[in-house]
Structure 1
Amino acid sequence: MAEDLRIITGSKDDQYHSLLPQISALLEGEQDEIANMANICAALKEQFNFFWVGFYLVKGDELVLGPFQGPVACTRIKKGKGVCGTSWAQEQTLIVPDVELFPGHIACSAASKSEIVIPIVRNERVIGVLDVDSAELNSFDETDAAYLAQIIGLIEFNLF
């Protein structure tokens, strides 16, 4: 298991390319999903200095807050509500350049300006989402979507 991250500068692609094997090393041999989600949040926050990085897990008809890095957050989100709930309902990644323009956006923090949410799909159903917020507008694109999906794929979700 890696004990430290090597933080690099450069293009977004370069940063993810460097971070992906490091996250893989962090997760190697660890079977606990909560521990792995926590380390992923910490690694993404440290490398990119995102405003907020976290997981929400499906529990019944709600997403419930899981491991995260950043300020306190909304604890429960209904399916179809806000960016996270909509990503869950639509079973697709959502990139929101300006959260103020997203219908029904849930403002856990007024400092959040843009957002990306990637659903975690196992056995053909969404079991959670990875939510990343930025304090800047237009922070996320398809590069983020592709790499964040790869990072989610590194976790073995066996208990859900």
Structure 2
Amino acid sequence: MTRELAAEILSWKYDPPYDLYNNEVTESSINELVHEGYLAVEDETGALIGFYCNGHSAQVPTGRELGAYTEGAIDVGVGMHPELTGKGNGYVFFSFVLNELETLNSHSIFRLTVANFNKRAIKLYENLGFKKTYEFKTDTNEFIIMLKW
């Protein structure tokens, strides 16, 4: 992840209700993407198509406070370019991410946290073998934790 790619990712704008995933381009948010284990994903032409992270960066802070992340698992977070979402690209993109992480951590349990309203993503994750295991609420949203063994 470079500063330029981080700034591009942070400038992406999603339509409602997915605007929960919109960010602001600030020095601290750029630094988070560059220094907290985020990886950019480009296609064969070099176009930025998404990003992923794992570990602490993929967890929702309220979930941590509630003890939702106690099992030993690799937390995964992903984001795809807004122009590519909702068009059937998620399966290939997220399969790539899981394969990349699996090469580093064979025989792993994967965990992700998804906003409850994001039925499109939940369906994708279920199709890839994830199962709902826990739910929690923040002041503004409801989240589901899903595991894949």
Indicate whether the TM-score tops 0.5.
Answer: no
Q: Which has the higher contact order (CA 8 A, sep 6+)?
A: 1
